[in-house]
Amino acid sequence: MRRRSFITASGQAISASLLALIGLGGWAWRAEALGGVLPDLDQPAPDFELEGFVPPKQKATLSLRDFQGSWLVLYFYPKDFTGGCTIEARGFQNDLAQFRQAGAAVVGVSADDPDSHASFCSDEDLAFPLLSDPAGEVSSRYGSWIAPYSQRHTFLIDPQGIVRARWVAVRPAGHSQEVLTLLRQLQADPA
């Protein structure tokens, strides 16, 4: 039986048993964030297919199916070349080898176009894909859209395409390490 846990806005995991202890365990509730309704934990991730930039020098269209069989860190962010977004991207880049060693891909999503993503990847030496969601259609499915920007939310999707964790209103500094730590915990104890 899979142990359910919920991730708070600060990124802390709360077990379903703790929620039951405080009287919330029986509630069937949907988590909402400023950007809309978030996908449910332990349920299939919303599908996506977006054009973007895949380093080192390739525009491509990627979908959720392209990551089937591996873990996926899908992070949404407001805008290329801005302070917080640059800090967050650098964090994921610094930890990219560790994510790959753990069998996880990292993909960023914002409303910026593929050419902006190409410049951002080049300027910051990013080696992971950045996808373009200019109308916010995919960001909306992930509860991460307030026009005209994606909100800073992250989702950890398992090899079967199930949302296993989410972070809302992410603080960019140190966020990559938070995700990596929980990824390793989930891999060590998949129950």
Residues with a catalytic annotation lie at: 85
**First-to-final CA distance of the chain:** 7
Alpha-carbon span 187 to 68, nearest angstrom: 16
CB crowding 111-148: b at 16 or more within 10 Å, else e: bbebebbbebbeeeebebbbbbbeebebbbbbbbbeee
Alpha-carbon span 165 to 7, nearest angstrom: 6
**Residue 8 CB neighbour total at 10 angstroms:** 12
